[in-house]
Every structure is written in structure tokens, then in C-alpha cells.
Structure 1
Amino acid sequence: MEALNSYLKQFPHYTPKAFEAILPYLSIKKLDAGEYFLQHGKVCRNIAFIEEGFMRLYYLHDGKEVTNCFCKENTFVTSYTSLITKLESDIAIQAIEPTKLIVFSYDALQKLYEQDLFWQQLGRVAAENELITTECHHRFLKDLSATDRYLQILENENELLQRVPLNYLATYLQIAPETLSRIRKKISRT
């Protein structure tokens, strides 16, 4: 729980009382690599803070998995659309490596919003960050060539190359695994 407390301390209006308010709602969930926090077609009812591990969010397109996001330690993960609308999720959330989550429900979050301004502000910041991340990824896919997308990963998100299987990385870049192999080979020669 200390990782979550440390993470929350970086936000304005944090108080120990705000952290204590969430404690009764928290549970720990451990996932092995390949296990799911959320599967396609299920309604998402929870939010998780990743204390340890690495996860991916993906959807199915023409029967193929397309990774649209990676999440690592000290970040929250959920299917926001499903969580808010209470409709079945079109994304799955899967552990890529052994993962330890601190989990709380949407209903608990709503209670926290009513109790403390800190939680309202944190919810707003999380929603804003989610929107920014989504827009940046769309621009990344639209504006850059496959090679430039890979180079951007090399420069800015090199950790993905150590922690993410290349087939997942290829779907994140929206290219075939063979194309990713060619790009990697070409870059390694230069």
C-alpha cells in the first residue's frame, strides 16, 4: 500500500486522511503473466493501481489482438468506458509479467468523491491524462511512418523493448511482426 500512498502524495490537496479514507475499500490481486484483470465482453467494475508488474490493454479487430496501451508500476488501469457506462468492455486488460494490483471498485470511488475534494481532483486528473494519452497515441499512429513510430519507442519508451513481447509491440505500432523485424534489422545496421 505504501506505493499507492507515495503516488497519491504527489497530488495537490493530499492528506493522510484522504489516504486513510480509501483503505477500507482496497484489496490486493496478484496476476501471473497472461492472466486477466478484465476480459472482453465483461463489465468493468474496478480500478487497479499497479504496484508491481506490467500490463497491456487490447481490443480485437477482425479477430486479431491490437494492443492500444501499456501500463506499468505506479499507474492506474481500468476500462474507463465500461466502468462509467456499465456496458460490456471491448478491451481486455492482461498482465504481461507477474503483477500485483491494489484494487477498488467504482462504487467506492464514488463514495470517496463525496467525502473529499482530493478524490474529485484525482479523478479529474486521471480522466484528463487518459484523454491526453489516447489523443497522443492516435496522432502517433496517424502522423508517423512505421519506422518513425519504432524510433520514437526507442527514444522515449525504451523500457517497452525490455518488457513487452515483440508481437504485442508490433500490434501497438499497428504493423505486422515481420515488418517490425525488418525495421529492427534495418536500424541495427545503421
Structure 2
Amino acid sequence: MESLQQLFGRFLALPQESQNKLESILTEKTLQKGELWIQEGEICDKIGFIERGLMRSFYYKDKKDITISFSTKGEFISSMSSFISRMPSYESAEALEICQVIEFQYDQLMPLLIEDRHVAYLYQRILEQNYIELEEHLIFSKFKSAKERYLELMETKPYIIHKASVGQIASYLDMSLETLSRIRATI
């Protein structure tokens, strides 16, 4: 849980009492490679903090697997739209390797947000960070060429290149396998 402590410090100086309250509601889960953590069509009742490993979020469109995002150590993962709206998730999340995830359950977290303003502020900061990442990914996918997207992925998240399948990477970068192969051949 050392990286979780670092996370608290990254967003704000969370008082020890608030940290204790948060720690009292968390659970730790180990996921095996290929195991689903969030299932499409179910209401997402948790937010996860990845202590170890790599996960991806994806959905199916016309029987095709579309990768939305990759999340790794020190990052949060959830189907935020489902978590917030309490509607079924349109996405699934799976472990691409053995993962250690700290889970915060909706039913335990929501009362704590009302009770503790420091935890509420931390939650707000996490939501803000999630929004920023979504916006950056939108810009990343819409305003850069296919080659620029691949080069940026290599520079900013090289572990994905080594852990995810070529199909997952192509889907995440919003390009065909053929385009990705051509780009990789020129690098």
C-alpha cells in the first residue's frame, strides 16, 4: 500500500484520520492474467487503484474488441460513467498480467464522502484527473497522425508496447493492424 500512500500525498496532504477511514473500507484483490475486473452490462460498484500490473478497458462494437484505455501501477481504474450514474457499464476491464488492485466499494465510499471533507476532496481530485486523462486521449486520438500516436505511446507508456497484443494496441491507437504494422516497420 506504499503507492497508495504516495497517491494521497500527490493530491493533497490527507490527515491521518482520513487515511485511516479510507484504509478501513478498502479491500485488496489479486487478478490473474485475462481475469475480468469489470463486466460490460453490470453496474460498476468499485473504483480500483492498481498497486501492480497492467489492465485494459474495452468494449465490443459489431463483435469487434475495442480498447479504450490501459491502466497501470499508480493509476485508478473504473467504469466511471457506470460508477457515478449507477447504470450498466458499456465497458469491461481485464488484467493483462497478474495485478494487485485496491478496491473502494461504492456503498462504503459514498457515506465516507459525506462524513469526511478531506476524502471528498480526494475523490474530487481523482475525478478531475480522470477527466483530464480522457480529454488528453481524445486530443491524442483525433488530432495526431497514426505515426505520431504510436511514437507518443512508445515515449510515454512503453510498457504497453511490451505487454499488450498488437491488436489491442492498434485498437487503442484507433488504427488498423495493417497501418500499425507499416508504422512499426519504418521505426
Same fold (TM over 0.5): yes
Matched, 1:146 2:146: yes
Q: Distance in 2 between matches of 1:77 and 1:56?
A: 9
SS at 1:9 equivalent: helix
2:11–2:125 CA contact under 8 A, matched in 1: no
1:91 aligned partner, one-letter code: E
2:17 aligned partner, one-letter code: K
The percent of aligned pairs where both chains have the same amino acid is: 33
Aligned residues: CA RMSD: 1.4
Matched, 1:55 2:55: yes
1:84 alignment counterpart: 84
Alpha-carbon shift at residue 163 of structure 1 (Å): 2.4
Range with bigger deviation, 154-163 or 100-109 = 154-163
1:23 alignment counterpart: 23
SS at 2:88 equivalent: coil
Per-residue Cα deviation, 1:74-113 (whole angstroms, up to 9, x for no partner): 1111111101111110011111110011112112221221
What TM-score, normalized to structure 2?
Answer: 0.94
Q: Distance in 1 between matches of 2:152 and 2:37?
A: 29
1:68 alignment counterpart: 68
Matched, 1:178 2:178: yes
2:118 aligned partner, one-letter code: F
What TM-score, normalized to structure 1?
Answer: 0.92
Q: Distance in 2 between matches of 1:175 and 1:94?
A: 21
1:121 alignment counterpart: 121
SS at 2:123 equivalent: helix
Give unpaired runs (5+ residues) of structure 2.
Answer: none
Q: Distance in 1 between matches of 2:35 and 2:108?
A: 24
SS at 1:10 equivalent: helix
2:137 alignment counterpart: 137
1:123 aligned partner, one-letter code: Y
Per-residue Cα deviation, 1:4-59 (whole angstroms, up to 9, x for no partner): 22321223241221111022211121111110111111110011111111100112
Q: Distance in 2 between matches of 1:9 and 1:148?
A: 33
Alpha-carbon shift at residue 172 of structure 1 (Å): 0.2
